[in-house]
Structure 1
Amino acid sequence: MTLLNETWNGKENKNVSLRNGTLQNLSNSSKTEVIEGWLIDKLSQILAIEPNQIDVSQDFDEFGLDSAEAINLSGELENYLGCRLSPTLLWDYKNIETLAKYLATNFKPVSSEETSVSLETEACQPNEVAEILPENYIFDRFPEYQKLRSQLERVSSLGKGNPFFVPQEKIVNDKTTVNGRELINFATYNYVGMCGDPVVSQAAKDATDLYGTSACASRLISGEKPLHKELEAEIADFIGVEDSIVMVGGHATNVTTIGHLFGKNDLVIYDSLSHNSILQGCFLSGASLVAFPHNDAAALAKILRERRHRYQRVLIAIEGVYSTDGDIADLPQFIALKKRYKAFLMVDEAHSMGTIGNSGRGISEYFGVNPRDVDIWMGTLSKSFASCGGYIAGDRALVEYLKYTAPGFVFSVGMSPPNTAATLAAVRVLKAEPERAVILQARAKLFLELARAKGLKTGMSKDSPVIPIIVGDSLKSIQLSQQLFQRGINVPFMIYPSVPQNEARLRFFVTCNHTEEQIRFTIDTVSEELAKL
């Protein structure tokens, strides 16, 4: 403890020692001793025990620190060393001994200019505070916000005001109402007409009467309702796996699941056109990341062949139907690769569940594969199932582990009773009425065939209700969307960065309730308006 007392003797001496380079000038073994001593001292204060009771080889988990204490300890250590550290250090290194050795070998203080704010905040003079730029503490000065405002003004100037957040005044299906005006609607993914279905709506009303509008707690504690287990069993049965778990948001389902199941010793390989929620989950996980060219199984095989042996767990993440282009993943090839290289396969079925397969059971039914050959099924409840939330389905062990440990589930309120009941009713209606999926597929096929017959560019779309009309030019895409609106057709545009440069488009979502007449009128109108541009 001698070196500790020389180096760490309160806040003032800490800053002096860092400025004088005390730790920098020590040998690695001495640095290790100093840092171990600092950690022992800090832990003894937090745990209210004597320093000699702390064993440097004891796992941090065994000290019983809560997450806030662990993060705060990392922050204090960052200040002490004068270098940037991860807030998850106490999870990344198992005990004081291994953490101290790592830091002694790798710590590198930042410059005095960089540490002046973080290390001397309490001693700052007024002129030092004044040097902080407004963009670092005022929201409307954020460069990112200024860029957003510029983009919105540019889009508004191209047409008739801001085209975003336009209120839809009634149930949206094949038609929508905007400012009292009815339009043919291709901007909703109410694919099989469950939103507004009397059976689904009544189920939500009944659940509200019985349970209220909220679960009012995490399901782990006291937010569990009988409906939750019924729904999870129904989803698992519909897909053909052992169990499922439902969460309150589709985007959050991907983020918390990927972020929780995989870590720094793992690899996630994802399709280059994967949804933002998959990417955010990857970033959260801390795993190594590699994107493979869209739907290219050969490229994926090469990555696995070269890299699989370097990692503990490997996840392959793909989608059933891709939400921007409307094409379908070649599932059998990905299953073969995941088996060969002993990896996990995750399929996001946000846009394929309810829409493809003979009875709408998704991509496994579409290809006729065993759904248990996929490790992690993910889907949203806001599309074919007319509700809000997401699910993970697979084997019982996966679901049980997530229910007790996934942060986005454990620390979140349970799915609301009306949303749960609406989803449950929608799944059961689709089971009883698979013809909804069949009609949807026929309508989507008609739309695609007519569009191609007119020479419209529909990209990679195939056998799905997601059909882009690729215009190329961003300005023309915005103008086309607005001209169609004037002619009674509601369809949104997609421009860079949502899609690559020169691939701006309109994206049409077809539903089972669209009529052949609506589709024929729409294709004719798109062709006419596009010719004018």
Structure 2
Amino acid sequence: MKKSVASLTGALKDKLIQQALQRQLAQVEQTSLEPAPQHNAAGPDPRTDFSRHPGYQQLRILHDGAARLGLPNPFFKLHQGTAGAHTCIDGQPLLNFASYNYLGCSGHPAVNQAAIAAITQYGTSVSASRPVAGERPLHRELEQALADAYQVDAAVVLVSGHATNVTTIGYLFGPRDLILHDELVHNSIMQGCQLSGATRLPFGHNNLAQLQQMLREHRHNYERVLIVVEGIYSMDGDFPDLPALVALKQQYNALLMVDEAHSFGVMGARGLGIREHFDLPGHAVDIWMGTLSKSLAGCGGYIAGSYALIEHLKFLAPGFLYSVGMPPPVAAAALAALQLMISEPDRVQRLQHNGKYFLHAMQQAGFNTGHASGYAVVPAIFGSSIRVTQLANRLQQLGISVMPILYPAVPEQSARLRYFICEGHTEAELDHAVQLLVEATRT
């Protein structure tokens, strides 16, 4: 006699529902690859009905599965006020591990005041692309400060971090080129590769032996070869061997691009990133990329490098040329945050201490933290999207804000809670967060 679903244990029921969801998702993906069916005039045309789009159907499957498990949506939660080491959601004060305000610059009085002063002088928008009529002194000051931080010729800021990678890679490379990237790079890099039309080959995460083999086999077939890695990987919290990458790119006459979205402000004695961590000159890397939305309390992205690279992008890259210039208060906030970081290096030191402290505490408690290095990002890997969603909801009830990272954003076997550490966390708060996770896993 078959058991009813109601009689199954919670863990087994979760597993069966998860397997059913994955089968449904696979069916939707397979259907999307098949030729479009002939339209039946009696019903709506699926080609013009967004509810029939494969992406939306996948979303509905996931939402329906969560509803069957009684799981509220863990996303789009409404934070009230500044989110740093602490936040408030629906009137509930929370210890916050869901925001990458690493150095506490977002909300800092000096940063706020810089943004207010910029609004007073320049307004809330430059109202044009920068080549046409949108150039303001703040843009040049911010770009010069970033170039100085990297010890390179110049830098350019763009209004979106994601678009910075897309437009830079998509514009600079083409069908005669090869892009080799770590398999865990950000979606924006993948989108840039797709836009470029270049051949794209991933190598295993931080597997430089495999990268070298690929260079040996393929370099001679292409005009330009670009290697792309991240300074700190946003899902795993680890980082690459940058000196070894520099040596490889020199040996095989390739270009090297480093995405420092999560490493600038986090690594190095003064927060100047993975370059400072390894004591490398700025010109060792051909294309430095970073974002203004993490340590620098703003929004947007930047590219830093040689004068030729930056002038090329400023005059010809579509994502910069045809986009409005960065709003004055955003540029001013990022510049003030960079100045604050440099003038108060103890912020970086507290962040680094907290990251190492939290990683050690999580490991001592027996949690799987993967390859995390203790720099700002620490995952707790549980291997079940359902499980991590349940834990995130339970932790919020206990006063902790932390986000689940689910399939298909990561493979199901590596679904995780992702903790962002801030300089404003105390050791007592970090210990408390670990203890609450221990308690949550027992329920």
Structure 1 and Structure 2 fold alike (TM over 0.5): yes
Counterpart residue number, 2:428 = 517
Amino acid at match of 2:198: A
Shift of 1:144: 2.2
C-alpha change, 1:156 and 1:441, in structure 2 (3 Å) is: farther
Distance 2:43 2:308 in 1: 51
Amino acid at match of 2:424: N
Shift of 1:489: 0.2
C-alpha change, 1:383 and 1:249, in structure 2 (3 Å) is: same
- The equivalent position to 1:496 in structure 2, one of 400, 404, 407, is 407
- The equivalent position to 2:219 in structure 1, one of 301, 308, 313, is 308
Shift of 1:153: 2.5
C-alpha change, 1:144 and 1:131, in structure 2 (3 Å) is: farther
Work out whether residues 111 and 333 of structure 2, in 8 Å CA contact, stay in contact via their aligned partners in 1: yes
Counterpart residue number, 1:184 = 95
Counterpart residue number, 1:422 = 333
Shift of 1:141: 2.3
Shift of 1:239: 1.7
Amino acid at match of 2:118: A
- The equivalent position to 2:127 in structure 1, one of 210, 216, 229, is 216
Shift of 1:133: 6.3
Amino acid at match of 2:363: R
Distance 1:149 1:441 in 2: 40
The reply to whether residue 392 of structure 1 matches residue 303 of structure 2 is: yes
The reply to whether residue 135 of structure 1 matches residue 30 of structure 2 is: no
Aligned ranges 1:46-61 → 2 under 5 Å: none
Work out whether residues 201 and 422 of structure 1, in 8 Å CA contact, stay in contact via their aligned partners in 2: yes
Aligned ranges 1:77-92 → 2 under 5 Å: none
SS in 1 for 2:117: helix
Counterpart residue number, 1:261 = 172
Distance 1:244 1:153 in 2: 46
Q: Let me know the Cα RMSD of the aligned residues.
A: 1.5
Distance 1:270 1:480 in 2: 33
Counterpart residue number, 1:432 = 343
Shift of 1:520: 0.5
Cα deviations across residues 494-521 of structure 1 (Å, max 9, x unaligned)?
A: 1111111211110000000011111000
Aligned ranges 1:223-238 → 2 under 5 Å: 223-238=134-149
Work out whether residues 189 and 511 of structure 1, in 8 Å CA contact, stay in contact via their aligned partners in 2: yes
The reply to whether residue 412 of structure 1 matches residue 320 of structure 2 is: no
Give structure 1 stretches of 5+ with no counterpart.
1-113, 115-126
SS in 1 for 2:442: helix
Distance 2:190 2:93 in 1: 37
Counterpart residue number, 2:390 = 479
Counterpart residue number, 2:11 = none
Give structure 2 stretches of 5+ with no counterpart.
1-34
Q: How many residue pairs end up in the alignment? A: 407
Shift of 1:238: 1.1
Shift of 1:185: 0.3
Could you tell which deviates more after superposition, 450-459 or 159-168? 159-168
Aligned ranges 1:240-389 → 2 under 5 Å: 240-389=151-300
Shift of 1:427: 0.6
Work out whether residues 71 and 389 of structure 2, in 8 Å CA contact, stay in contact via their aligned partners in 1: no
C-alpha change, 1:418 and 1:157, in structure 2 (3 Å) is: farther
Cα deviations across residues 201-244 of structure 1 (Å, max 9, x unaligned)?
A: 00000000100001100001000001100000001101221110
Counterpart residue number, 2:6 = none
Cα deviations across residues 351-401 of structure 1 (Å, max 9, x unaligned)?
A: 000001111000011111112100000000000000000000001110000
SS in 1 for 2:200: strand
Work out whether residues 159 and 479 of structure 1, in 8 Å CA contact, stay in contact via their aligned partners in 2: no
Amino acid at match of 1:204: A
Shift of 1:129: 8.8
Shift of 1:281: 0.2
C-alpha change, 1:292 and 1:132, in structure 2 (3 Å) is: farther
If you compute each CA radius of gyration, which structure gives the higher value, 1 or 2?
A: 1
Shift of 1:485: 0.6
Distance 2:426 2:136 in 1: 39
Cα deviations across residues 466-500 of structure 1 (Å, max 9, x unaligned)?
A: 00001112211111111111000000101111111
Shift of 1:159: 4.0
Work out whether residues 134 and 141 of structure 1, in 8 Å CA contact, stay in contact via their aligned partners in 2: no
Work out whether residues 156 and 163 of structure 1, in 8 Å CA contact, stay in contact via their aligned partners in 2: no
> What is the TM-score with the length of structure 1 in the denominator?
0.75
Distance 1:168 1:460 in 2: 30
Work out whether residues 155 and 302 of structure 2, in 8 Å CA contact, stay in contact via their aligned partners in 1: yes
Amino acid at match of 1:307: H
Distance 2:39 2:264 in 1: 57
Work out whether residues 358 and 374 of structure 2, in 8 Å CA contact, stay in contact via their aligned partners in 1: no
The reply to whether residue 470 of structure 1 matches residue 381 of structure 2 is: yes
Could you tell which deviates more after superposition, 463-472 or 194-203? 463-472
Shift of 1:155: 2.5
Work out whether residues 74 and 404 of structure 2, in 8 Å CA contact, stay in contact via their aligned partners in 1: no
The reply to whether residue 447 of structure 1 matches residue 358 of structure 2 is: yes
Between the two proteins, what is the percent identity of the paired residues?
A: 49
Distance 1:152 1:364 in 2: 42
Distance 2:388 2:181 in 1: 29
Distance 2:370 2:46 in 1: 41
Work out whether residues 388 and 419 of structure 1, in 8 Å CA contact, stay in contact via their aligned partners in 2: yes
> What is the TM-score with the length of structure 2 in the denominator?
0.90
Work out whether residues 356 and 463 of structure 1, in 8 Å CA contact, stay in contact via their aligned partners in 2: no
Shift of 1:128: 8.1
Distance 2:245 2:374 in 1: 19
